Amino acid sequence: MTVELMACTPDPERICGEAAAICTHSGNPEKALRAAIRSGHESVLEHASYTFRITGLSRVALAQLTRHRLASFSVQSQRYVPLKPESQHYPDSIQKHGFSRKAARLSRAAMDLYAEMTEAGVPMEDARYLIPQGVETELILTMNVRELRHFFRLRCCERAQEEMQNLADTMLELCRNTAPLLFRDAGAPCVLGTCPEAHPCGSYHVNPPSLRDHP
């Protein structure tokens, strides 16, 4: 999977900071932004957004990603774009348990039948029903900072599926590079010292108190 940050709102910390400063008539946007984040007044974070190009994401992960209703998506169509035989994602556990070859054989058989059917005139939108969910896709995704932080809370967590965690971790790193203040306390909830999961992973991220306090 590759994740490219295509664009983001220029100077996102200043924009969100100005929004926070307007609310409290503060002369210090950065301080107002820190206070807004600390107190959970996150609507000011909706003024900056980020757009990513994601390639090589499985349809399994896509189904999870598109549950985030406040994001915007443009996904490669399986109705108009032929599937490539080699575009299958397998999680590490399949290889670890010795099923790589069997899995590849099954995917190849499905892809061969897909090709045979489409050549015979079955529309791509119908032939795709045969394809395993590991098939990869490509999309462009846009989220505002508030939604990104929410997404990172859910998907950087060890309880999220590995492919989603990898995606979220990569996106978070790209975001942090552009706006450390907006994203320094983003990530799994244990970054802030708590875990709401019924079945915690047991390997909490350990962060310095300064990060938890978001000074």
List, by residue number, the catalytic residues: 155
Q: What angle do CA 89, 72, 147 make, to 5 degrees?
A: 95
Residues 144-163 that bind ligand FAD (CB under 6 A): 147, 150, 154, 159-160
Kindly tell me the burial class for residue 48, based on how many C-beta atoms sit within 10 Å of its own C-beta (0-12, 13-18, 19 or more): buried
Least distance (Å) between residue 112 CB and ligand FAD: 33
Does residue 68 bind ligand FAD (CB under 6 A)?
A: yes
Query: What are the C-alpha distances in Å from 114 to residues 32, 107, 123?
Result: 56, 10, 10
> Diameter of the chain by CA atoms?
69
**Alpha carbon distance 27, 25 (integer Å):** 7
Strand partners for 66: none
Least distance (Å) between residue 158 CB and ligand FAD: 9
CB-nearer residue toward ligand FAD: 21 or 141: 141
Does residue 6 bind ligand FAD (CB under 6 A)?
A: no
Least distance (Å) between residue 37 CB and ligand FAD: 17
**Alpha carbon distance 6, 161 (integer Å):** 25
CB-nearer residue toward ligand FAD: 69 or 79: 69
CB-nearer residue toward ligand FAD: 7 or 70: 70
CB-nearer residue toward ligand FAD: 18 or 169: 169
# chain residues binding ligand FAD, by CB under 6 A = 9
**Alpha carbon distance 171, 30 (integer Å):** 23
Instruction: Kindly list the residues in this chain that would bind ligand FAD in the complex (CB under 6 A).
Output: 67-70, 147, 150, 154, 159-160
